[in-house]
Amino acid sequence: MLLDISSTFYQWIRGGLIVLFVYHIIFYAQNKDKIHKFYSGYLFCLTVYLLRDIFEHQSVQYCYQYISFSIQYIGYVFFIYFCRELTKSKKRFPKLDYGVLLLSRTLILFSIVLIIIEFFYGYEAQKMAVAYSLPIATLFAFYVFYLLSKIKTAQVLYLLLGSILFLVFANISSLKMIKGDQYLINLPVHRMFYYFVGAIIQSTFFAILIGTHFRKILEKKREVEINLLKQSNQISQLKIIALKNQMNPHFLFNSLNSINNFVIQNKIDEASNFITKFSFLIRKVLDVTNENAISLTKELEILSIYVKLEQMRLKKGFEFNVLINKNIDSSKLKVVPLFLQPFIENAIWHGLQLEEKEKKISLEITAVKNHIKVLITDNGIGIKKSKSIKNKQMHIKESYGINIVKERMELMYGNKIQIQIKDLLDEGKNGTKVSLTFPKTDL
């Protein structure tokens, strides 16, 4: 039975590999996970190669003479990318990773060369080229395995075991194909038996490996969800704080939704980064809760964290530039807590959000005699276009936020403040300019 390449034993292995390929390609289509993408590509090439002997038609066999070796090398390229993604070698071993990328490109080039050799010199010449390349490829593979062995994780252990065993068995089959069935090991089996056994052993180890990998992802996801719950438990208190300091409470809820979306999409690093910045912002807001005035330095520090969070939330982000006049001592200048945030928020979500080109916001603070002048400029769609797109209720909320800032500033400075909002379309430009002027007062 094992001498017949079309027997049940070999068919079961082929069928198993096809099922694995379908499973991983469906999983990739649903989750867009690169590990499944590269592994399904590898399984596809491996399966195509192993299906060769079930086709008896002469034209199919003729086509396989061209692709049978090349498809294996293409499969190795997918395998390399699978290993890179799994071990994060780009971060851990940048120099090795660069060398591995060069190897993958070399394999692609070599697979093309093999087809050219077949076209001009025939199948035997192609086999000879593969025979000479095998020792070099094997030595390089074992060198990579040696470097990977320094990563002491269960994932790398399964990766190494599966890869080394498959490499050994695959080389036995390749040598028998080149040297003859009696070479090396003389058992009553087809020469491809060793390749099939190596493939099923490797697939078993990799199934355990991928399972371990996603178990760790789920554990990280649960940690993020626990942090999210902790943040959610504080939402009532945060809302009070936000209202007291006139920070839009919608921002807080939207931030938590952004964290939740990162978790759902398995973007663990982004979720963790967002939570860190979000928590830091909360602490800063807590610091100024009971203060009627803070320094401009502290105000800009809080604003900077807020902007970074919004840059993560807004598609393609935006550029934010701050320019402060040299004759302003920001550590001593007295300002209303969070007076800039509503204007920046309006610029982002009513100006930049609907803009497709490069997005920018500039904040310029200058001293004019005994007054401070603040200019906030964006290159968004402008007031008129925004009003034509957004509903009326949205603009009522927008004006309400600005009016609150004005009232709070009037409590500190009296009637000596000015707030002007101008659509730059009137000047033939895109965007909005906000001008705030208030008396210069030191802490």
Distance CA 329, CA 327 (A): 7
> Per residue in 303-361, pLDDT tens?
998 888 888 877 778 899 999 998 899 999 999 888 898 888 888 878 887 777 888 99
Of the ranges 13-17, 307-311, 365-369, 384-388, which one carries the lowest mean pLDDT score? 384-388
Which residues, including other chains, have CB under 8 Å from residue 60's CB and lie 6 or more apart? none
Q: What pLDDT band is residue 395 in, cutting at 50, 70 and 90?
A: very low
Nearest to 213 by CA among 154, 263, 167: 154
Which residues, including other chains, have CB under 8 Å from residue 182's CB and lie 6 or more apart? none
For every residue of 346-406, DSSP letters joined together read HHIIIIITT--S--EEEEEEEEETTEEEEEEEE-SS-HHHHHHHS-HHHHHHHHHHHHHHH
User: Under the phi-then-psi rule, with left for phi > 0, alpha for psi from -120 to 50, and beta for the rest, what region is 436?
Assistant: beta
On the question of a common fold for 8-218 and 234-439, the answer reads: no
Q: What pLDDT band is residue 231 in, cutting at 50, 70 and 90?
A: low
Most confident of 243-257, 259-273, 333-347: 333-347
Higher local confidence (pLDDT), 137 or 203 = 203
Q: Is residue 368's pLDDT more than 90?
A: no
* Total-model pTM: 0.53
Domain boundaries, the chain: 8-218, 234-439
Nearest to 380 by CA among 356, 400, 363: 356
CATH number for the segment(s) 8-218: 1.20.1070
Distance CA 76, CA 105 (A): 11
Q: What are phi and psi of 419, to 5 degrees?
A: -130, 120
Average pLDDT, the chain: 82
Higher local confidence (pLDDT), 245 or 46 = 46
CATH of 234-439, one of 3.40.190.10, 3.30.565.10, 3.30.420.10, 3.30.70.1450: 3.30.565.10
Nearest to 355 by CA among 315, 398, 308, 304: 315
> Per residue in 284-297, pLDDT tens?
877 776 677 899 99
| pLDDT for position 232 | 63
Of the ranges 195-204, 223-232, 347-356, 370-379, which one carries the lowest mean pLDDT score? 223-232
Higher local confidence (pLDDT), 18 or 279 = 18
Q: What pLDDT band is residue 392 in, cutting at 50, 70 and 90?
A: very low
Q: What pLDDT band is residue 251 in, cutting at 50, 70 and 90?
A: low
| pLDDT for position 396 | 45
Q: Helix axis angle, 249-264 relative to 268-287, nearest 10°?
A: 160
Q: What pLDDT band is residue 254 in, cutting at 50, 70 and 90?
A: low
Which residues, including other chains, have CB under 8 Å from residue 426's CB and lie 6 or more apart? none
